[in-house]
Amino acid sequence: MNHKFLSAVAEDGEFSPSFAEGYEVQKTLDAIERSDERGEWVSVE
């Protein structure tokens, strides 16, 4: 995976998962944690 990532950087290409995809996943994980702490449904922000 590192080779694919570094090649994409060197060639100004795309890599998956992208930063945007990772950011969306992190927002979901944050919502799960908040939901667990509050004991209720929360919105993904």
State the DSSP string of 12-32.
Answer: T---SS-HHHHHHHHHHHHHH
Note the pLDDT of residue 17. Answer: 87
**What pTM value is reported for the model?**
0.69
Note the pLDDT of residue 44. Answer: 96
**Domain spans, the chain:** 2-38
Q: Is residue 1 over pLDDT 80?
A: no
Answer yes or no: are the C-beta atoms of 38 and 32 closer than 8 Å: no
Each residue's pLDDT tens digit, 33-44: 999 999 999 999
Q: Is residue 31 over pLDDT 80?
A: yes
Q: Is residue 30 over pLDDT 80?
A: yes
Note the pLDDT of residue 38. Answer: 98
